[in-house]
Structure 1
Amino acid sequence: MEDLFRAYAPYVYLHPDEEHLPSSVDWFFSNGALLYKKGEESQPARIEPGGANLPKGGDPDGSYWIDLPADKGGRDRVSRGDIASAEAYVHFKPGVENGMFTDIQVWMFYPFNGHATAKIGFIKRVPLGRVGEHVSDWEHVTLRVRNVDGVLDRVYFSQHSGGKWVDASLLQFESGNRFAWYSSRNGHAGNNEAGLYLQGPGNGVGIRNDWAKSNKVVDTVARFVVVASEGEGEAVVEPPWLSYESKWGPTKQYDTAAEVRRVRKFLLGKLKKALDKLVKIIDEVYGTDGPTGPKVKNNWNGNEA
């Protein structure tokens, strides 16, 4: 299975203007990430290496969450990430389609998700204040490999709360069978090619997803860790942080409507109405709660949707 991953391991291309780079989970922990507990917010705990002191099991009441360092300098520094430390976290699992495939999930961690930018009519870039910002961001691709011959069949690219399957013939291959995994500016949504995609009501109005190739790149085969494997003869020792089922970031710390109002007052009448339509879907795209880790997500055990 590791040989298959090495054969197809993607290159993660960040946007040239990306400010919030990926890092390893251990870099995030060792550089001041804090664990908070409801009712004891004034006494956050430093997170031990590997997440050894993180709580295990479910947390339906949202009693725990992770946040950036408390001091501004630490928050700013850690939110920018550390691409030199970035690791790919690999999960092998049987494919769900009649046992014909094996899935290789490749997860990347970002300490911070940046603010959203919109396109509204002829105005190409409208910064939306703090909209879209949240601590910690987990993104992944899933490589679906045919069991009969080990050939890569297709790849799933996660995009915010959803994603898309892409046939292997549409991937941009380099270094043999390895392919490009583009990460959108600020939001880190994945894609198989460079370009612009708008999420929103249409007619030239939407949240920008900008993908472009740059020298900010992660070679996933150079630094990867197999964190879980199902159906394999040799057991994998899972890192403690993988079993942490609470939030990797606090609940949304801004009011979407208030942030958008700051922008709205500078727009003309028709553009104001266009922005109002966009506001209705913003929280659907970005969510309002803190992000969860890989093992909590439905696609960890189920199919990609």
Structure 2
Amino acid sequence: MRPTTLPLLASVASLTAAVTPPPYVLTYAPIHYLHPDEKFLPSDISTHLLNVIPYKNNTPIPSPNPLTPTNLNTLSGDVYLTSRSDPTLFTSPQNAWEHGSLTAHQSSVIITTHPQSNPTTIDAYYFTFYSLDYGGIYLGHNIGNHVGDWEHVMIRFVNATPTQVWLSQHANGEAFYYNTLEKEGVRPVVYIANGTHANYAVTGTHDHAIPDLNLPAGVVVDHTGKGARFDPTVGGYYAEFDAATGGFSGETVGFLGFRGRWGDRKYEEGFRGQDCPLGITQLCKWTDGPTGPWDKDLKRDTVCPDNGILCIVRWVLGP
């Protein structure tokens, strides 16, 4: 493990000079609180890579050995990073890597970028990586588990002042004005949902069945609480993203250039307990591992992703 300071990240294509984040990106960085019952903590990226094998078309392929954050971008976009052990055996000693740690690791990535044609604005993305997402129990069924999980908070700065904050949640999320959010000093407080790691502004129950309409009760719910504290500026990486070219710059780490999946491919029915009620993919117990930060719409016009869903920036706290 490296010391718990903020090392600098890398270009996905070549060696480049080191870059440093603007001081305010760290000053106003969010503070995360995990749920008191969370079993799958932020995960060291290097450790995750030591516990997976690159697969293509359900077959292991030749790859760098060992697989590291520096050489991950040599793999193609149709690769799944597939668990060496059976990831469904949560309590197996072989799967300790799935559970992550709050100390001595590099599980976070801070990426800054200028929105297109807006030189006075900087968007700072604070990504956290988890080796496993536990989707939860809904109407008696466990659905939505997957190996690998990238979640993020984005803060939009105008003239070095934080103005708006985006909290990623499943397929979408919520936006708030910076002044609305709970703070520790000047740092926004974000509550991480148990198992799914979605980001919320308050503790409690959050029904997220309808985009842009989170409710305090329902069927498709997340749960947040004030458990362990996690600081994404400690033990992480830093990179700059060029919205015009789609490239990253920084020191030598290539994992941001990996276009494949950070976990196993969705299992076939019956394999490792896979169950898809009514044959509906969205209800499967195990789903595909996720893509990485490059696929989280880093070129945004507003604080919200440009995904066709109305961007509502909230003045009041809520679920």
Same fold (TM over 0.5): yes
Which residue is 1:194 aligned to? 203
Alignment partners' CA distance in 1, 2:47 and 2:260:
19
Which residues in structure 2 correspond to 1:71-220 (within 5 Å)?
Answer: 73=92, 76-84=95-103, 85-96=105-116, 98-118=118-138, 126-129=139-142, 131-147=143-159, 150-174=160-184, 176-200=185-209, 205-214=218-227, 216-220=228-232
Higher relative contact order (CA 8 A, sep 6+): 2
Asked if 1:301 is matched to 2:299, the reply is: yes
Matched, 1:65 2:80: yes
Superposition deviation, residue 218 in structure 1: 1.2
Counterpart Cα distance in 1 of 2:140 and 2:97: 22
Q: How many percent identity over aligned positions?
A: 21
Corresponding residue number in structure 2 for 1:273: none
Match of 1:250 in 2: 264
Going from structure 1 to structure 2, the CA distance change for 1:284 and 1:45 (only over 3 Å counts) comes to farther
Taking a change above 3 Å as real, the CA distance of residues 26 and 205 of structure 1, as seen in their structure-2 partners, is: same
1:188–1:19 distance in 2 versus 1, CA, 3 Å: same
Unaligned runs of 5+ in 1: 119-125, 262-275
Match of 1:20 among 35, 40, 47: 40
Larger radius of gyration: 1
Q: Please state how far the C-alpha of 1:187 moved relative to its aligned partner.
A: 0.4
Deviations 1:70-118 (A, max 9, x none): 2664652121112212432011101358444210011100000013233
Contact 1:86 1:218 in 2 (8 A): no
CA distance, structure 2, for counterparts of residue 6 and residue 152 of structure 1 = 11
For residue 43 of structure 1, report the CA deviation from its aligned partner: 7.6
1:34–1:47 contact (8 Å) kept in structure 2: no
Q: 2 CA distance for matches of 1:162 and 1:132?
A: 15
Mapped to 2, the partners of 1:19 and 1:101 lie a distance apart of: 37
What is the deviation of 1:228? 2.7
Q: Deviations over 1:142-167 (max 9, x none)?
A: 110112xx211011000011111111
Q: Is the 8 A contact 1:51 1:240 kept in 2?
A: yes
- Give the aligned partner of residue 251 of structure 2: 237
| Aligned partner of 1:37 among 43, 56, 64 | 56
1:226 matched residue in structure 2: 238
Where in structure 2 are there 5+ consecutive unaligned residues?
1-20, 306-319
After TM superposition, the score normalised by the length of structure 1 is: 0.75
> What TM-score do you get using the length of structure 2 for normalisation?
0.72
Residue correspondences, number: 267
Please give the root-mean-square deviation of Cα atoms over the aligned residues, in Å.
Answer: 3.3
Distance 1:218 1:33, change over 3 A: same
The separation in 2 between residues aligned to 1:34 and 1:46, in whole angstroms, is 10
Partner-residue secondary structure (3-state), 2:209: strand
Residues 43 and 236 of structure 1: CA distance in aligned 2, closer, same or farther (over 3 Å): closer
Higher-helix-fraction structure: 1
Matched-pair contact (CA < 8 Å) for 1:34–1:45: no
Per mean C-alpha deviation after superposition, the further-off stretch among 202-211 and 219-228 is 202-211
What amino acid does structure 1 have at the position aligned with 2:200? N
